[in-house]
Amino acid sequence: MADNIFAKIIAKQIPAQIVFEDDRALAFRDINPQAPVHILVLPKKAIANVGAAVTGDEALLGHLLTVAAQIARNEGIDSTGYRLVVNKGRDAGESVPHLHVHLLGGRSLNWPPG
């Protein structure tokens, strides 16, 4: 898993438009945005996907959500609304084996999403 693109972004081997970073998480703008605001929030810990999270990861998973909420406030989309998406598996559209949360907003989002 250390060779995936997100691990390389965390290691600063590949540049990204980083909007948040602390000791547990990193967030950056998606290079193929699906909404005016499309930011990926990921743990620095290598977790392949949400199904690979284990007991003990709860605080980290919660941290990803609170980071996403703070970024939404910073981006000015908190008052109009935003969507958080976590994909797991091929049928869900997961393409990088590193857990990440998509923060999408800045326009009206359709439901159902797929």
Q: Give me the domains of the chain, ranges plus CATH numbers.
A: 5-105 (3.30.428.10)
pTM for the full model?
A: 0.95
Query: What b-and-e string marks burial along 81-107, b requiring 16 or more CB atoms within 10 Å of the CB?
Result: ebeeebbeeeeeebebbbbbbbbbbbe
pLDDT digits (tens, 9 = 90+) for 73-99: 999 999 999 999 999 999 998 999 999
Q: Both tokens of residue 6?
A: 């997100």
Mean pLDDT of 100-111: 96
Q: Both tokens of residue 106?
A: 């800045």
Residue 2: pLDDT above 70? no
End-to-end CA distance of the chain: 27
Catalytic residues, which ones?
100
In percent, the amount of the chain with pLDDT more than 90 equals 92
